[in-house]
Structure 1
Amino acid sequence: MSEQADKLELTPDSFKRVGANDTDAQEKISAPSLTFFQDAIRRLKQNKAAIISFWLLAIIILISIVSIWWTPSDPNAQHVAYANLPPKIGNGIPGFTGQANVGGQLVDKYAQANVPKGTYYILGTDYLGRDLFSRLMKGIALSLLIGMLATLFDLMIGVPYGIISGWRGGHTDTIMQRIIEIISSIPNLVVVILMLLLFTPGLGSIVVAMGITGWITMARLIRAETLTLKTQEYVLAARTIGESPFKIATKHLIPNLSSTIIIQTMFSIPTAIFFEAFLSFIGIGIPAPNASLGTLLSDGQKTFRFLPYQMWYPAAAISIIMIAFNLLADGLRDAFDPKTNN
């Protein structure tokens, strides 16, 4: 070992001068700079279930928009002679042949009802001969509209209420929270039924009835976040330079509350859709002949034993919508708050 050490000689060529350019290259950040929302979208894209749910909902919403101007047939037109026809597509695809089991034998219900050649119903017809596919398109559109309008009430009432309660604090916060506790102590169903008794049943009365109590969860979440945010340095600095509470709310609080608002909105929409479906199912929701997912389920369950397809399709539609919204909401929650993954 000593002989090898003696042979090792250090010369000026054994050293390499490190230049300023090399230091800059080592300290350079190779990853692109991302904003909070860009980083959240990046994390959301890694959640496959949330992305699939997003595209499913996009397709469903697109179909709902198309149904405003076009449906295969008039969803409310009655053709009693064509009542309870099974699903049929073209010349017949397995499961969509237009045949039904009658007395142990397969019978062509379309030929039996003298349906003109080339006329068929993709999802069949109901007990009044109305096209179920057209009614399902309209029903999904109406249910989504009710869900979004009810959620809009949550935003319009819950967000300002929560910000004011959390920002003011003290006696104001105490009084506002006692009001919330009084409202939340009354069951939602009781409030909705009373509202529907006072007003004519329909889209407007259902949205108002759900909006009266639906904003409470949003208000509580926003209040809790506001109590935390108002002690942050940038908010204290804004107050020090004399900015008004309104400007602080719009410039500092609401942008930082956006993740909470978005996530809670995504949970509120399916809740409102399911609640409307429940009301229509028990007969106090959307009046006839208008179609919603609740009215379609109500009509389908009456003949479920003999004509199960009349209930399967609306049940599948509401299940897909509910699951997709909840998976997307979970994905958004994880994307905006990565700590929830731990």
Structure 2
Amino acid sequence: MADKQQELPKDAFEPLSDGSHLDNEKIAAPSLTFLRDSWRRLKKNKAAMISLIILILLFVVAFGSALIPSMNNVSTNPNLNNLPPRIPGIDIPGFNGTLVQGGQRINAYTGAAANHYFWFGSDYLGRDLLARTLYGTRISLIIAVVATFFDLTIGVAYGIISGWKGGKVDTVMQRIIEIMLSIPNLVVMILLLLILKPGIPAIIIAIAFTSWINMARLVRAQTLELKNQEFVLAARSLGESSIKISFKHLLPNLTSVIIINTMFTIPSAIFFEAFLSFIGIGVPAPAASLGTLISNGQKSFQFLPYQMWVPAVVLSVLMIAFNILGDGLRDAFDPKSRE
């Protein structure tokens, strides 16, 4: 007798839905580009973000002050010379217009200076140190921007060409760099002063002469590594030109190196300009830079320390902020460097 066919009850199975339940087991995250992923890592670095905010504020204040007439008024007034800092509403020694003379603290804002307020004090010619410090900061940042421009043009182009061509071309280009590195920047500056007048153009040319060399060497080293990668070889086999490969394949992969090195070039350029101005071969009077203000302030540092402390603190903040931000960018763009 044949076995009877067994039938399953109707409620043994339930119809499936439209498949939305499968999303519960899906592992997914929003897609991030290289720059977005680097920015995400940079935001986790509190020191780098604080430095970035400080630099943005310095840029805004320094260049925004050029639009304020009172901040551009640096005319001399011998009746208001060597006055200490005085800020309205603050009665703290060092910020209330008092100074120590003969062992006693006296109010320096008397007579013609009674109705004046110099937040950073005044110099030996009665000029507002706040206005001159903002002007000097603006000069230093302009020098930094110019150094960045030459880094991104001459340095990147030179490095890519040297690394891409290789062979004899690379050898000759690297020997030129070695010859230029053997000449100190100070010697270049002194030689330029024999041809040009001391000032910003001479400093810019001196920086343009050598500032791009480190960038060129780093870009060349990365180009030598990248040009043998599979994606570059594939592009060459498809007949793409060298220029197209440089812009489409090499530059995007060199972004991290370029940005990181640029952030370390800027403080070097600022310090170089301040050093030249400090020794008297930089920005000439009556113009001011941070180096000039520090040089003038150190002459009377024993009696009027604020005249040197103010520009020195601003210069130090600039240098430290750029270096900390550079370290943060290096960790963000190249996480392996932290290991």
TM over 0.5: yes
What RMSD over aligned residues (CA atoms) do the two structures have, in Å? 2.0
Report SS of the residue matched to 2:183: coil
- Residue in 2 aligned with 1:324? 321
Partner Cα separation in structure 2 for residue 91 and residue 80 of structure 1: 26
Match of residue 297, structure 1, among 285, 294, 312:
294
Gaps of 5+ in 1: 1-12
Report which stretch shifted further, 189-198 or 312-321: 189-198
Give the TM-score of the pair, scaled to structure 1.
0.91
| Superposition TM-score, scaled by structure 2 size | 0.92
Following the alignment from structure 1 to structure 2, what is the Cα–Cα distance between the partners of residues 337 and 173? 27
Write the distance in 2 (CA, Å) between the matches of 1:211 and 1:14: 82
Q: Which position in structure 2 is the counterpart of 1:170?
A: 167
For the residue of structure 1 that corresponds to 2:70, the secondary structure is coil
Which stretch has the larger CA shift, 250-259 or 277-286? 250-259
SS of the aligned residue for 1:198 comes to coil
List 4+ stretches of structure 1 deviating above 2 A.
13-30, 71-76
Aligned residues: 328
Instruction: Read off the aligned partner of 1:103 and give its amino acid letter.
Output: G
Show the counterpart of 1:210: 207
Q: Deviations over 1:202-236 (max 9, x none)?
A: 11110111110111100000000101111111111
* Change in 2 beyond 3 A, CA 1:23/1:215: same
Q: Tell me the equivalent position of 2:311.
A: 314
For 1:136 and 1:211, locate their aligned partners in 2 and report how far apart those are by CA, in whole Å.
25
Q: Residues 231-242 of structure 1 correspond to what in structure 2 (within 5 A)?
A: 231-242=228-239
- For 2:21 and 2:232, how far apart are their aligned partners in 1? 38
The answer as to whether partners of 1:75 and 1:132 remain within 8 angstroms in 2 is: no
Aligned residues of 1:282 and 1:298 also touching (Cα < 8 A): yes
Q: Structure 1 73/256 Cα, relative in aligned 2: closer, same or farther at 3 Å?
A: closer
Aligned match of 1:110: 109
- The answer on whether the counterparts of 2:65 and 2:71 sit within 8 Å (CA) in structure 1 is no
Q: 5+ unaligned residues in a row in structure 2: which ranges?
A: 1-10
Mean Cα displacement is larger for which, 183-192 or 275-284?
Answer: 183-192
* Structure 1 residues 1-342: aligned runs within 5 Å: 21=19, 24-25=22-23, 28-70=26-68, 72-94=70-92, 95-111=94-110, 113-117=111-115, 119-342=116-339
SS at 1:249 equivalent? helix
1:24 deviates by: 4.2
Instruction: State how far apart, in whole Å, the 2-side matches of 1:311 and 1:290 are.
Output: 17
The 1:20/1:225 distance shift into structure 2, 3 A limit, reads: farther
Deviations 1:3-59 (CA, angstroms, capped at 9, x unpaired): xxxxxxxxxx99999999488436523321111111000000000000000000010
Q: Using the alignment, how far apart are the partners of 2:25 and 2:149 within structure 1?
A: 48
Letter in 2 for 1:161: Y
Whole-Å separation in 2 of the counterparts to 1:17 and 1:326: 63
Identity %: 56
Give the Cα–Cα distance (whole angstroms) in 2 for the partners of residues 265 and 17 of structure 1: 62
CA contact (8 A) 1:165 1:172 kept: yes
Residues 16 and 298 of structure 1: CA distance in aligned 2, closer, same or farther (over 3 Å): farther
Distance 2:14 2:222 in 1: 55
2-structure distance, mates of 1:236, 1:129: 67
190-199 or 43-52, which deviates more: 190-199
Deviations 1:58-106 (A, max 9, x none): 1000001212211534443000111000000115430211111111122
Counterpart-to-counterpart distance in 1, 2:201 and 2:81: 31
Read off the aligned partner of 2:106 and give its amino acid letter.
V
Contact 2:140/2:289 (8 A) holds in 1: yes
